[in-house]
Chain A
Amino acid sequence: MSGFQDNMRQSARGVGFLALVIAVGAALAIAEPRFLSSASLNGIARHMAANGLAALGLTFVVIVRRFDLSLPGVAAFAGMSMGAVIAAGAPLWVAVAAGIAIGAAIGMVSGVAISRFGLPDIVTTIAVGSICAGMAFLYTGGRSIFQNFFQVGITDLNDARLMGLGVSLWILLAIYAVAWFVMHRTRTGVAFYATGENPVAAHFSGIATKRYVALAYVLCGVCTALAVLLILAESGNAETNKGANLMMPAYAGVFLGAAILGGTSVLATLGGILLITMLLDGFALMGVPYYYSDGMISLILLAGVLAFSDTARGWLASFGIRRAFRRSAPGEKG
């Protein structure tokens, strides 16, 4: 009976999310008709692929109830490293493998420092991120790397199409499908969630909680490297600031998705990042300067999380807006 109610609530959230996507899309299309052009929609798909990979990495970290603020630094270092490998004449797969290895290694450093040695996550990842941001300058002293980029075929990741959709979107969907299966259909996923929600009980249940915390950071590092790979593919060169705009959309996607769809999950992040990318690209089309868009995304994030949180709902209800909210939350305990 209550399982049925849970399903109802979950599907109500899903319907609400779709309505929100349509409403946001319609509003942006009215404000800027070019929003629905195929060039714009393709752009959204491409940007969603990069943003979505970074957000997926962050999802693992948020599920184990930690934070990772090293994203821009890791992206810069992994991006410049991949650029250097390409410039040296190596094939694309070697560059990608190097990026993944670097992302994993940096994630391992943060993860082990935080889980094994108990360092605070925020300080550790800021420090690791800053070190990486500095190391990104090792190759060229900060100059752009573009040699061999066209010969090696990295731009195909941005331009090639498969069944009418950009190949980067397919990459995103494939990785999300694997992540969804692991997080929501296997023991590993249960262990991740248990580690986040009650590490003591998880430990007493035989789950190696420290290993899962470290693994979350490793996965986050790998996803960040893949995200910056798509950014390099789009621009056709590597620069030290390529990953600078990855972090805010990623956090916004994870938390907005969790707020709307009722908890941190792979699908919630996918939904969240779709909304965030639509908004970001819509603002860009409307000519909103880039230095305002992070701020506007953050504002939307705060508003979204507030509107969907139970605490805020109770608080609003105490101001007498009770009726509007009561219907949306039947049978909840007082």
Chain B
Amino acid sequence: MAAPILTASGVSKRFGPVQALQNVAFHVAPGEVHALLGINGAGKSTFIKILSGIIQKDGGQITVGGEEVHFRTPEDAIRAGIATVQQHPELVPDMTGLDNIFLGRESARRGLFSRIDQRGLERRAKALLSRFPVALDLTLEVGRMSAVEREAVAILQAIAGENTRVLILDEPTSTLTDIEREDLFALMGLLKAQGIAIIYITHQLEEVFAIADSFSIFRNGTCVARMTVDEAKAGRVSLADLMLGEAIGDIFPPRAATAPGDAVLEVGALCLQGDFDGISLTARKGEVLGIFGLVGSGCDELAKAIFGVTPPDSGTLRLRGQVVRLTSPRAALDAGVFLVPGDRRTEGLVLSRAALFNVPLANLRRAAAGRWSLRRRRMQGDARALTGDVALHPPSLTTPASGFSGGNQQKIVLAKGLYSQADVYIFVEPTVGVDIGARAKIYALMRQLSRDAAVIVISSDCDEVHGVADRTLALHKGRQVEPVSGVFSRDALLMAGIMGEVAQ
């Protein structure tokens, strides 16, 4: 392979008492797709932030194209040809794809009154699209685009600087469906063919073999392994073991050993115009019910309808045999339904606040327990016990939720759910952006919850639904698809969710 375009050696970084990176060695060649793997907190993000100039290294050497570089700002990195697409790219939803791509670079001249050169913009866009022929209508507003189209716009925006030599993608596939993922991989192929090196962070290990040429694994702040995908295949290397530093077993807990108990939640012919129609299901104590559906299948809307966020147009809900009407989250919580929402950062947590604030939030009645004032000592004790139960790391009750990794933020939401003592727990996309160690813990907690409550897991990750649930069904374009008899196999579930058909 060609000489490396980007190298790093001996890179280290310390945050206060925490050695975030130590003596990291790294290299990537032009046209190489290189996956960066590691559990949350392993140092991937810190390393990427150093490469993109967001933070500065304490020591070590980084070279681009053979020359040593010192990035003080993100602009320095961009000028050196390193473009980064953040995990949640910031785009202006009301502007078109084209306007977003050239935002801040509309004109070659810098000046308050320099006119936007519309024809020049179109020419540049055409040139960009001729290099990377993506099937994408750039005149559409970004707010009306799908997740993969937005990701493509963000990538085009990042590489519109013409001289991009290295592109960093931070978990680009975490919100994409399988089909969209293929589109993204196609775009990555085009970039690769242009000789751009791609560094790509992911938690989806099977993607590594699908798209990457090589990978590095970070653990405890250092790069513990670098190999090509061919080497890994030949040596039958387990990526998960390398990431965790120890052999892990199956991340899914064993299924329920005993027959499920009483029906807790019965959903009858639930309908919400435009989102889903005629959904009937029963969730029982003692089992995990899995629902698989892609983005747009109505899964998220179904969960929110049951939880009272957007009450359904018609249909019935029964809790423990009683018909209930849940018209608000308050009503749902009072009736004993708890939602672990799909977007934990906006729907699940007050990020600026610590676990001590977030954990009791959905059940303040319990926190006050009949008094005017909150029972603060008891609240603190409960929060400490529950964050311990979910193995929150670091086990701090006073660190703002924003300071935790994705997996540990989800654990705070789980502790909040445990505090609210519900009878029905609905999980939506429970492990998006969660590393494999925390995933295993979250699945185990679901299983534990199902002993005393009904648990419904809704996800666009077919393996997750199939792996964790005792009984599964699929949602396809708002309609439910159930197995003819018994349970879905993994492949049948996938077919049901993607095609809406039941395999015979």
Contact = CB atoms under 8 A, between A and B. Distances in A.
Interface of A: 1-3, 6, 181, 185-187, 190-191, 193-194, 197-198, 200-208, 330-334
A207 B350 CA distance: 13
Interface string B348-365: 111111000100111011
A171 B329 CA distance: 39
Interface stretch (B22-30, B240-248, B368-376): B368-376
A206 B367 CA distance: 14
A206 B352 contact: no
B353 A203 contact: no
Given A193-B350, A194-B353, A333-B403, 19 more contacts: A1-B396, A3-B396, A181-B373, A186-B372, A187-B365, A187-B368, A190-B357, A191-B364, A197-B352, A197-B353, A198-B349, A201-B349, A203-B329, A206-B328, A206-B330, A206-B333, A208-B330, A333-B15, A334-B15
Given A2-B399, A331-B16, A197 B339 contact: no
A6 B373 contact: no
Contacts, number: 90
A198 B346 contact: yes
B364 to A, nearest CB: 4
Contacts of B367: 187, 190
B229 interface: no
Contacts of A334: 15, 55-56
Interface residues of B, number: 41
Contact of B362 (A3, A181, A197, A206): A206
Given A2-B396, A186-B373, A190-B364, A201 B329 contact: no
A201 B340 CA distance: 11
A205 B358 CA distance: 9
A331 B347 CA distance: 29
B418 interface: no
B403 to A, nearest CB: 8
A205 B329 contact: yes
A44 to B, nearest CB: 32
Main secondary structure of the interface of A (DSSP, over half): helix
Contacts of B94: none
B15 A190 contact: no
A185 B330 contact: no
Nearest to B330: A206
A196 B396 CA distance: 23
6 contacts: A2-B396, A201-B348, A205-B362, A206-B362, A207-B364, A334-B55
Given A187-B368, A194-B350, A202 B361 contact: yes
A193 B351 CA distance: 12
A250 B328 CA distance: 36
Contacts of B329: 203-206
B309 interface: yes
Contacts of B330: 206-208
Most B CB within 10 A of own CB, among A181, A198, A201, A332: A201
B15 A202 contact: no
A213 to B, nearest CB: 16
A1 B307 CA distance: 37
Interface in B1-59: 15-17, 55-56
B246 to A, nearest CB: 27
Contacts of B403: 333
A3 B397 contact: yes
A194 B361 contact: yes
Contacts of B348: 201, 204
Interface string B401-431: 0010000000000001000000000000000
